[in-house]
Chain A
Amino acid sequence: MTALNGMRVIELAHERVAFAGKLLADMGADVILVEPPGGAAERHHPPFLNDAPGPDRSLWWWHYHTSKRSVEIDLGAPAGRERLLALIDQADVLIEAEPTRRLADLGLDWPDLATRRPTLIHAALTPFGRGNPASDLPATDLTLMAGGGPVWSCGYDDHSLPPVRGLGDQAANTGCHYAVMSILTALLARMTTGRGQFIDVSIHAALNVTTEGGSYQWLVNGTTVQRQTGRHASIVPTGPTQVQCADGRYVNTGVPPRIPAEFAALNEWLNALGLADQLPEAVFLEMGATWQGPFDLSLIGKDDTVTAVFGAGREALKLIARSISAYDFFMGCQRAGLATGIIYAPEEAFEDPHFRARGFDVPVFHPELDRYIRYPGAPWRMPASPWRIARRAPTLGEHEHELFGPEDS
């Protein structure tokens, strides 16, 4: 069985909370998506199947609503509220991203819901927290990422260029990760207390604690990281790690060698490629290969020899990268034990032999199209309670009959 088999989750359709529902649904929870009359706005979110819009053609919708069931409910009407309450009466979890006062105004908020259903876990995902009126001001992924910390740390060495927001709706994704961690924790707590609870998730707060040194450098000693091209924002400028290879693609040269075996492997590879005489720092590379005792990284920039040896490793990697293809660089480095990476487009990773061999892409049947579509698959391999896309995203009102019977729908 899957971990969440038999758990019922009510999700009030909203773009910010969709991923939390998917993470639970693909682990076996029965997630019922409650859409407003006429369907959720996200049904019209591009991209679309064959670029033709339509309520059941949004690929955004397809991805974020796998394994869920759907009903249309008008929460503005008394009958609609009764239908939602009927669902709540059998639910373990409610997840929503509504404006902070909306459910209270409808008489559908915590703690009223707890009186009716004491075992209910109610998770609210808002931009700045349930108690903060700023959560009701308009916000998008870009503005949340700009205000929450990620953007400050991302961009280029050249600070006349704006800082950069990475794509993929990562603000909502991060909020949803925390929502799911909280819900799972509350489910475990409920096993001993027998009671549900209310969970307040702030996307802004979630981003604030997802910035590594952006936050903790300031917290620990009041220093401020500065963004750099393709690598960690830093207090002290660090050497470039991103190199364009002979085939025009980029690689991340990662963490240069730090132990003698890594220096030795790199030196050997450099020689095998016939590039050693092009590296002025080759002598320091050899020094690294025969280094005695601990190689203390905290002395970089303070001890001349440590700095030179570390720098030689980095220069050797850059020289090799410029001389061969990105994929060959990635393979060669990793076989030498060095953590480097090719900078793939997502679809290139999707087609890479490693992820294909692991079965990361999974087929999902779309009966209306009479074909299988390849979807991104499991974030983890959990053999006793496997992740699985049970079905494609629901069409509008698809499960009315199942859930409410013919007379009521």
Chain B
Amino acid sequence: MSGALARYRICDFTGQLAGAGATKWLAAFGAEVIRIEDPVRQGRWDILRGMEPFKDERRGIDLGGAFNNHNTGKYGITLNLRTTKAREILAEIVRQSDVVTENFAAGVLENWGFGYDALRALRPDIIYVSNCGFGHTGPYAEFKTWGPIVQAVSGLTHLSTLPGQPPAGWGYSYMDHTGGYYMAMAILLALIHRERTGEGQWVDLACTEAALTLHGPTLLDWSVNGRGTRADAEQRNSNRSQWLPMAPHGIYPAQGDDEWVAVVCRHDADWQQLGRVIDADWCQSPSWQTAAGRVEDQDRLDAAMSSWTRTRDKHAIAGALRAAGIPASPVMRPAERVDEDPATGDFGLWPTVAHSAIGEVRVDGLPVHLSETDWSITRGAPCLGEHNAEILGRLLGYSRETVDALTAEGVL
């Protein structure tokens, strides 16, 4: 177990991925992350808890594969916050925690009586990090979001498209992952600040604002040059180079069903190398010998490229081009990049965890290694209330009998 964050305890209300992904990082570096879940609704404020994918086709509230993926190494307790006793227990846990985290819609925790002022009354230097789509202030503060909504409103969806098509957008919640990264950064920054000053704070993270920061040059092109991205939306091909004059720059069909390869010529030298590999007359076309000429004529250039790639294996194409110094990559299928790619396997990217109900299953690891305090992911997500006795025993001194009685009373 990594010691980097072992001295911190997180009282964690997060769910889904945008929140749970943040505290997964903390747990992997040794923080004690205690998930608080509602026994009455079986923890369903995290919709992923009992959702697919399932291993061995076993379904159930403890068997959700995505939930397991996002909650490795955390503890889980149940608290029925409708009861006074559960609220007292929560208050004591907050007193002993460094950070309280949640990604409910704005105001939910406040309505339960555990807004920032209440948390601060329990522990003056508490760090409270909330993560919601639009933040806790402003006209849309009450609005609800999911990753795809954040991506829609922030412009990420709009800038993922092909000509004459509606937006393709992102085929997954890029901003749930990335919102979680921003939440993790915010927690770590607030911890650093507290270590240096003794001061806690409430961090209001609006996922849509975090997403907007990912379009910096586009926004400056707007605010400085007045150039927007709406007028040419119908013609946009986001597989082409966004800023630099590079062509060819595309994703081309390869041999086989739904197989594709990405190829980029960064400059004329790449183009000349490409011509040596392809060795076809069209590579010598005079108007294509300069980047400007190729960018100008990309539709025809892409058609020529496709005619060459279509009958060839994507790995063979990428291998030959990379050997010639040209950026290229197969579009990797999940099976290929997970099971057949040393760059992920040898990196240790897919650790196997032991989950109390699911058994052994692989999960997303972390794409970094720290030489002195590296991460460790070995334990699966908690089952509902799995650590009630352990945590309430350790933090509040409750006996097993007390925990059983509280369970019978509907507190846990």
Q: CB distance B329 to A230 under 8 Å?
A: no
**Distance, CA A1 to CA B40, complexed state (A):** 44
Q: A219-B350, A358-B209, A384-B201 are in contact. Are A146 and B262 (CB under 8 A)?
A: yes
* Complex contacts, A210 vs chain B, CB 8 Å: 174, 177-178
B144 within 8 A of A: yes
Q: Which of A160-204 contact B (CB under 8 A)?
A: 161-170, 173-175, 177-182, 184-189, 191-193, 195, 197-204
Shortest Cβ distance from A374 into B: residue: B223
* Complex contacts, B196 vs chain A, CB 8 Å: 1, 3
Q: A46-B244, A134-B343 are in contact. Are A358 and B160 (CB under 8 A)?
A: no
A273 within 8 A of B: no
Q: CB distance A346 to B229 under 8 Å?
A: yes
B140 partner, pick from A4, A143, A214, A354, beta carbons under 8 A: A354
* Complex contacts, A323 vs chain B, CB 8 Å: none
Shortest Cβ distance from A326 into B: residue: B152
* Complex contacts, A180 vs chain B, CB 8 Å: 185
* Complex contacts, A170 vs chain B, CB 8 Å: 174, 214
Q: CB distance B54 to A181 under 8 Å?
A: no
The tally of CB-CB contacts under 8 A between chains A and B is 528
B219 partner, pick from A128, A140, A225, A350, beta carbons under 8 A: A350
B190 partner, pick from A3, A206, A211, A219, beta carbons under 8 A: A3
Q: Which of B85-93, B246-254, B279-287 touches A?
A: B246-254
Q: CB distance A201 to B367 under 8 Å?
A: yes
B114 within 8 A of A: no
**Distance, CA A211 to CA B251, complexed state (A):** 19
* Complex contacts, A251 vs chain B, CB 8 Å: 152
* Complex contacts, A298 vs chain B, CB 8 Å: 50-52, 59
**Distance, CA A151 to CA B250, complexed state (A):** 12
A90 within 8 A of B: no
A68 within 8 A of B: no
B344 partner, pick from A3, A168, A205, beta carbons under 8 A: A205
**Distance, CA A142 to CA B137, complexed state (A):** 37
A241 within 8 A of B: yes
**Distance, CA A220 to CA B241, complexed state (A):** 35
Shortest Cβ distance from B145 into A: residue: A339
Q: Mark A125-160, 1 if CB is under 8 A from B, else 0.
A: 000110010100111101111111111111110010
Q: CB distance A142 to B4 under 8 Å?
A: no
A346 partner, pick from B44, B133, B159, B210, beta carbons under 8 A: B159
Q: Which of B76-84, B332-340, B386-394, B399-407 touches A?
A: B332-340
Q: CB distance B212 to A129 under 8 Å?
A: no
Q: CB distance A219 to B144 under 8 Å?
A: no
Q: A165-B238, A339-B146 are in contact. Are A140 and B178 (CB under 8 A)?
A: no
Q: CB distance A146 to B249 under 8 Å?
A: no
A348 within 8 A of B: yes
* Complex contacts, A310 vs chain B, CB 8 Å: none
A32 within 8 A of B: no
B397 within 8 A of A: no
Q: Which of A59-67, A77-85, A274-282, A394-402 touches B?
A: A59-67
Q: CB distance A60 to B217 under 8 Å?
A: yes
Q: CB distance B329 to A347 under 8 Å?
A: no
Shortest Cβ distance from A195 into B: residue: B372
Q: Which of A47-55, A95-103, A283-291, A311-319 touches B?
A: A47-55
**Distance, CA A206 to CA B202, complexed state (A):** 28
B112 within 8 A of A: no
Shortest Cβ distance from B237 into A: residue: A164
Q: CB distance B162 to A156 under 8 Å?
A: yes
B313 within 8 A of A: no
Q: CB distance A51 to B225 under 8 Å?
A: yes
Q: Mark A324-344, 1 if CB is under 8 A from B, else 0.
A: 000000000010011111111
* Complex contacts, A404 vs chain B, CB 8 Å: none
Q: A49-B224, A155-B171, A168-B159 are in contact. Are A346 and B148 (CB under 8 A)?
A: no
Q: Which of B116-175 contact A (CB under 8 A)?
A: 133-135, 137-140, 142-146, 148-162, 165-174
Q: CB distance A63 to B139 under 8 Å?
A: no
Q: CB distance B172 to A233 under 8 Å?
A: yes
* Complex contacts, A358 vs chain B, CB 8 Å: 135, 137-138, 206, 209
* Complex contacts, A374 vs chain B, CB 8 Å: 223
Q: A60-B243, A129-B343, A181-B185 are in contact. Are A342 and B160 (CB under 8 A)?
A: no
B334 partner, pick from A64, A204, A215, beta carbons under 8 A: A215
**Distance, CA A156 to CA B168, complexed state (A):** 6
Q: CB distance B190 to A204 under 8 Å?
A: no
By DSSP majority rule, is chain B's interface helix, strand, loop, or mixed?
Answer: mixed
Q: CB distance A380 to B205 under 8 Å?
A: yes
B337 partner, pick from A208, A213, A233, A383, beta carbons under 8 A: A208
Shortest Cβ distance from A60 into B: residue: B217
**Distance, CA A197 to CA B2, complexed state (A):** 13
Smallest Cβ distance from A242 to chain B, in angstroms? 6
Q: CB distance B220 to A348 under 8 Å?
A: no
**Distance, CA A231 to CA B368, complexed state (A):** 29
Shortest Cβ distance from A125 into B: residue: B368
A406 within 8 A of B: no
B239 partner, pick from A164, A199, A209, A341, beta carbons under 8 A: A164
Q: CB distance B220 to A63 under 8 Å?
A: yes
Q: CB distance A166 to B139 under 8 Å?
A: no
Q: CB distance B243 to A46 under 8 Å?
A: yes
Q: Which of B247-283 contact A (CB under 8 A)?
A: 249-253, 258, 260-264, 266, 270
* Complex contacts, B364 vs chain A, CB 8 Å: 208-209, 215-216, 219
B184 within 8 A of A: yes
Q: CB distance A242 to B222 under 8 Å?
A: no
A377 within 8 A of B: yes
B398 within 8 A of A: no
Smallest Cβ distance from B249 to chain A, in angstroms? 6
* Complex contacts, B55 vs chain A, CB 8 Å: 220-221
B303 within 8 A of A: no
B365 within 8 A of A: yes
Q: CB distance A164 to B160 under 8 Å?
A: yes
A106 within 8 A of B: no
Q: CB distance B59 to A163 under 8 Å?
A: no
A142 partner, pick from B168, B249, B335, beta carbons under 8 A: B249
Q: CB distance B168 to A186 under 8 Å?
A: no
Task: Across the A-B interface, give the 10 residue pairs with the lowest CB-CB distance, nearest first.
Answer: A346-B155, A205-B367, A63-B216, A153-B171, A341-B152, A166-B160, A220-B65, A146-B262, A341-B149, A184-B188
What are 29 A-B pairs at a CB distance below 8 A? Answer: A4-B192, A60-B243, A129-B343, A132-B342, A132-B346, A142-B327, A143-B264, A166-B160, A169-B242, A170-B214, A173-B178, A184-B188, A197-B370, A209-B364, A212-B66, A213-B66, A219-B69, A221-B54, A224-B335, A252-B148, A298-B50, A334-B143, A344-B155, A347-B155, A350-B212, A355-B208, A355-B209, A376-B220, A379-B209
- Beyond contacts A134-B343, A142-B250, A378-B209: 19 other A-B pairs, Cβ-Cβ < 8 A, are A59-B217, A64-B216, A110-B371, A132-B342, A140-B264, A156-B165, A167-B159, A167-B218, A178-B367, A193-B373, A200-B368, A205-B347, A225-B171, A229-B165, A230-B168, A230-B169, A350-B212, A375-B220, A380-B203
